[in-house]
Structure 1
Amino acid sequence: MLTARSRPIPRQVVVFALVGVINTMTYYGLYLLFLTCFPYLLAHVLAFGLSMIGSFFLNARFTYRTRPTWRKFLLFPLTNATNFLLMTVGVYVIVDVLRAGNRFAPLLASAAAIPVTFVLSRTIMLPKGERDHALPAQEPTTIP
């Protein structure tokens, strides 16, 4: 059975970052693919939605070591709402205001959203008692 307590917060941050790299590469690949057929904002929205599904399962399994449930799956998009808003505004500003081009805009815009996404996803994925502080690895608790 997977346990959240077996992974201390600093390790969660490292694994979250690695999952984020995979998620970002997936997002960016999908964004470039969709950009060939759709306007940049639609390409962004589609790529973001699809990569978020993968992010949920990777974070459940590897970052938080918790069982994915329908409840968590349905709440997980809420954790990305701030990330989505920050990235969308960032992409718009970079492309339409700064006229810097649309190919690298999502990568630049995502930098500010990463810490917020970690805190929010941790809140959704872990029960309150397990996210309030770093828990010792020798006291694992199975997540139902």
Structure 2
Amino acid sequence: MTAVTTDTSSEPTATERSRVGRKDLWQIIKFGMVGGVNTATFYGCYLLLHPHMPYFLAYTLAFVISMVGSFFMNTYFTYRTKPTWAKFVRFPLTNVTNYVITSVGTVVLVSGCGMSDKIAPLVAALAAIPFTFVLSRKILTRTA
């Protein structure tokens, strides 16, 4: 009778799982910090542009400006990866989900619910945070 051996070399140890868990948690915290700065940038741009154009155009321009800042803050700070042109080109694709969620949310909140067009973009942005984290992490940490 032979002894059955199980090769566990491919399974992470408890220490490795703990390290990965802490790394993930720290990335989520840093993503939240970048998101706070990015939201302030977006909102500041939105408020500056809003008096000079329709709210949705101001919203869209502020979104694009803050997305460029978000790319650099997330590459350098959150994921500690090198920004490349390939990542920069792909990064907006990950924000399509964010844009759709926040755009639809903003319009629904303003037009459908009567919420102030100055507050609605902030409320709508909260719903997009989990989706944006997952997608940006996938794009920015993927090796091209």
Does the alignment pair 1:11 with 2:35? Answer: no
Bigger shift: residues 57-66 or 96-105: 96-105
Task: Give the number of aligned pairs.
Answer: 124
Structure 2 alignment gaps of length 5 or more: 1-19
Per the alignment, in what secondary structure is the counterpart of residue 8 of structure 1? helix
- Structure holding more helix per residue: 2
Higher relative contact order (CA 8 A, sep 6+): 1
Aligned pairs for 1:107-126 (under 5 A) are: 107-126=122-141
Instruction: Measure, in 1, the Cα distance between the counterparts of 2:135 and 2:115.
Output: 30
Per the alignment, in what secondary structure is the counterpart of residue 37 of structure 2? helix
Instruction: Measure, in 2, the Cα distance between the counterparts of 1:93 and 1:71.
Output: 34
CA RMSD of aligned residues (A): 1.5
Runs ≥4 residues deviating over 2 A? none
Q: Which digits, 9 at most, give the CA deviation of each residue in 1:14-70, with x for residues without a partner? A: 000000000000000000111010101000000000000000000000000000000
1:8 Cα shift?
1.0
| Matched residue type, 1:69 | T
Corresponding residue of 2:53? 38
1:99 Cα shift?
1.1
- TM-score, scaled to structure 1: 0.83
| Matched residue type, 1:8 | K
Greater Rg over alpha carbons, structure: 2
Does the alignment pair 1:68 with 2:83? Answer: yes
1:127 Cα shift?
2.4
Instruction: Measure, in 2, the Cα distance between the counterparts of 1:92 and 1:47.
Output: 16
Does the alignment pair 1:28 with 2:40? Answer: no
Structure 1 alignment gaps of length 5 or more: 129-143
Instruction: Measure, in 2, the Cα distance between the counterparts of 1:104 and 1:90.
Output: 11
Corresponding residue of 1:132? none
2:94 to 79, 84, 103: 79
| Matched residue type, 1:108 | V
| Matched residue type, 2:135 | L
